[in-house]
Amino acid sequence: MWNWPYKPIKKKLQFKIAVEILLNEKIQNAYNALIFQCSKSVPASDLPLVDKAFNFAADAIGNTVWNQGEFILNHSISVAKIAVIELGLSTDALISALLHNVYGPGKMEFSPEEVKKLFGSSVTVILEGIIKINALNTGNLAFQSENFRRLLLTLSGDVKVILLKIADQMQDMRTLDNQPLGLRERLSIDTWHLYAPLAHRLGLYKVNSELLDLALKYLHPTDYESIVDKLKETAVERAGFVSAFVMPIEKKLQSRGFDFEMKARTKSIYSIWNKMKKQKVDFHEVYDLFAIRIILNTEPENEKAACWQAFSVVTEEYLSNPDRLRDWITYPKSNGYESLHTTVLGPGKRWVEVQIRTHRMDDIAENGLAAHWRYKGGKGGDEIDKWLRNVREILENPQLNPVDFIDDFKVNIYEDEIFVFTPKGDLLKLRAGATLLDFAYEIHSKIGDKCVGGKVNGKLVTLKYVLKNGDQISVETSNNQKPKLDWLDFVVTSKAKTRIKASLNEDHKKEAENGKEIFRRKFKNWKIELNDSVIRDILKYYKLKLAVDLYYNISVGKVDTLEIKEQVIGKREESQQDKLSEILPPQEVKELSFDNSDDYLVIDNNLKDVNYKLAVCCNPIFGDDIFGFVTILEGIKIHRLTCPNAKQMIERYPYRIIKAKWRNTGKRNSFQATIHISGSDRSGIVTDISRIISKEIGIQMRSISINSEDKSFDGTLRVFVNDLEHLDFLIQKLKNIKGVHSVTRSDA
């Protein structure tokens, strides 16, 4: 059985019989008016089925009212009127509108099979879609974005569901004054973020404007009232300007035999408000408060030529701004919108937008899909169906971030379009600002993933190339290419963004699986119980929300398992061999030597075939007090205790510190040492320094650098010594040279 989500308050009207009859007559009169107004749109042969639907709803609902006193059946009739008269929908939508608020449990229960038998499968599909939408709790703001995703997924199933839900939302918004504040805000937010953009995408510009105006009225009432007042104050002035502007154009069009009409359309309140916000200007600084529309009456085969001829007349009279020319006649918008827009400099140096179109184009611009069906026998929705398929493909991705999608959804719908061509000459429509990579993803997701560049109009371009109207594009791919995180910085279409994020998430997932295996294996080796409490503590320590992020960081080396162990078991002492076994392969650890009495890593002075490296930051030599530091990629590094980096390493990575000491093997070896020397400059002092190093002591010198200034010198010596004692002996000999004031060992 269907569980209808709307649960109206069932009140038995406690009025006199005469009042009850009057109320029933009110509903009946509203229905009679609906049938009269729909007589041109609904075939007479369908009326018995419409009557059956009304009687079905009346039996189920009767005089039931909403909380605020509105008759539910009257609401259904009003929605049906909008659907048929304003949106141009057919009998199926009219019947669905009458039935969409029927309440089953407690009043009348029926199954989809029963509805299908009575009213047909099309009505059943529409009603099922409406039920799914109404079942979602968009009032729960914590889940609002996810619910919007579900809403769109439901809506994208059948365009009639979208249109009927838009009609329902419009009726709700028109009667919002009677609703409590909380409900006003919720319905206005839904309208602003979802239903108005959908109306725009379907070409219902008049509906879109009304919905946005109503939403603005309740979400920003002060701004709304201010603009309404200013429009009233300037109405006479605007009328005078329009009259002066159109007069010369009318005369020229008439003299050249055009059959036309002209209208002045004031911008919607929302459009004015939005422009004031974006441009940060006052009401009086919005230069295009209205647009002039020229609507031509001409044969279909002459439409384009007639529009361009009218454009020529307008630009003969007024200077045109070439940057503001919009040709949607040659290449209509994806929702079927056709018109020629130009902005010209009118009387008083004021810019005015002029829209030129035919009656057919104007009908489509005002009524969207409904007009397409009138003119093309129901085939005009191909672009909409393609868009809906694209929306479904995006929404069905389980890794989709709903918040990102809703933001992109709104932006993409209101953004201008560009028209580009494939190498075969096929036309594609993309959002303005789209790049070569967006184009590649529009062709196919796999082509986008492998795209490395391409050609535009025969010239090589990069992934970031921003496409322009008329570009002919070919894409180059490579099997070695894969999506990168920085791609998200320059792609603009929802399809590209969603696919890139999905691919990156897949890579993230693979790394996380690897990290998870490492994590579990380490705990098993440590013989430490792994449970949810331990994982929560580790996540808290690293300030991570999800375990998958911890596993990923372990896999890529951002989190060290040694540090995890340090946090889990505390500061308990463990053997140096245990520490090293966490990072180094077992064979390498076996080859190392340890002093078990004090648990030291033993470093001998024979530096051939060793498993450690001497750190270049402090250049330790045999005899220095030293320690080992376990790195992730380079094994063990040996540092002096006086190394300038020692303090930071010991404080930040205590779990990587290994106690170490030298062992004399009796073999001579060479360690690099750096000596800083300074004193008074004199002739021959460099010769004396070199002689002491090479001849008297027999030390190999790698380099010498001496700078002399103002009778003083400062120099750096790099030499190879056997051990610390050997170095100390050299330093003492250098100090005895005449003119030398200071000799010290340097770290570098």
Residue 416 has pLDDT above 50, yes or no: yes
Percentage of the chain lying above the pLDDT 90 cut: 20
CA 493 – CA 500 distance, rounded (Å): 11
Which residue, among 138, 197, 162, has the nearest Cα to 494 in the 3D structure? 197
CA 712/CA 215 separation, integer angstroms: 81
pLDDT, one tens digit per residue, over 355-374 is 999 998 888 887 765 555 55
Query: Residue 260: which pLDDT band, with cuts at 50, 70 and 90?
Result: very high
pLDDT in tens, 600-641: 778 876 655 566 788 888 889 888 888 988 876 677 888 998
Q: Which tokens go with 530?
A: 């792994």
CATH number assigned to the domain covering 671-746 = 3.30.70.260
Q: Which fold has domain 382-498?
A: Ubiquitin-like (UB roll) (3.10.20)
Q: Sketch the domain layout of the chain as residue ranges.
A: 17-213, 229-367, 382-498, 504-569, 576-663, 671-746
Most confident of 183-187, 458-462, 646-650: 458-462
Residue 526 burial class via C-beta count within 10 angstroms: exposed 0-12, middle 13-18, buried 19 and up: middle
Mean pLDDT score, 728-748: 87
Distance (Å, whole) CA 26 – CA 295: 40
Stated length of the chain = 748
Does pLDDT of 1 surpass 50? Answer: no
**What's residue 77's pLDDT?**
92
Specify the long-range contacts of residues 413-420, CB closer than 8 Å, at least 24 apart.
413/197, 413/198, 413/200, 413/201, 414/197, 414/200, 416/326, 417/333, 417/334, 418/467, 418/468, 418/469, 419/331, 419/469, 419/470, 420/467, 420/469, 420/470, 420/471, 420/472, 420/473
CA dist., res. 418 & res. 434, Å (int): 8
Q: Domain 17-213: which topology? A: Hypothetical protein af1432 (1.10.3210)
The CATH code of the domain at 229-367 is: 3.30.460.10
Give the model's pLDDT for residue 357: 95
- With residue 656 as reference, give the H or E element that holds it: none
Close Cβ partners of 491 (under 8 Å, ≥ 6 residues apart): 434, 435, 437, 438, 441, 497, 500
Residue 582: the pLDDT is: 59
Q: What is the pLDDT of residues 288-319, one digit of tens each?
A: 778 899 999 999 889 999 999 999 999 999 99
Helix-then-strand count for the chain, H and E: 30, 21
pLDDT at position 256 is 92
Closest CA to 23 of 36, 11, 7: 11
State whether residue 423 is helix, strand or coil: coil
d(CA 134, CA 268): 29
pLDDT at 106: 41
